[in-house]
Amino acid sequence: MAKTEQAPQAFAFKKIAATGNVLVLNSLSYVMAEYDGSTGVTSWKRMVSAAQREDVQQWLLKNYPVPAPVAPVATRRKQKRAA
């Protein structure tokens, strides 16, 4: 049986609709970190052990991946013909 990927048990995650960021909350609903979904950067607000921090960051990147940058479409300019 395949192992299902679950969120780290000590934390809850809440996505903010207006910004698209994700708050990482502990069991007492304190904000522990904020994850920017557009850049993939997690800014930590409180102390967390390195092992927990790594687990949370990997889970966030897996469940809220950074969108790939969209390359602008090149347009051709019309060249003026010499008269």
Give, for all 83 residues of the chain, the pLDDT tens digit. 444 467 777 899 999 988 889 999 999 999 999 999 888 999 999 999 999 999 999 999 999 988 877 777 777 766 667 66
Flag whether 29 is in a domain: yes
CA–CA distance, 12 with 33 (Å, rounded to integer): 11
28 part of a folded domain: yes
Residue 52 is part of which domain span?
A: 12-63
Domain count, the chain: 1
In a domain, 37, yes or no: yes
pTM beyond 0.85: no
Nearest one of 52, 27, 56 to 40, comparing CA atoms: 56
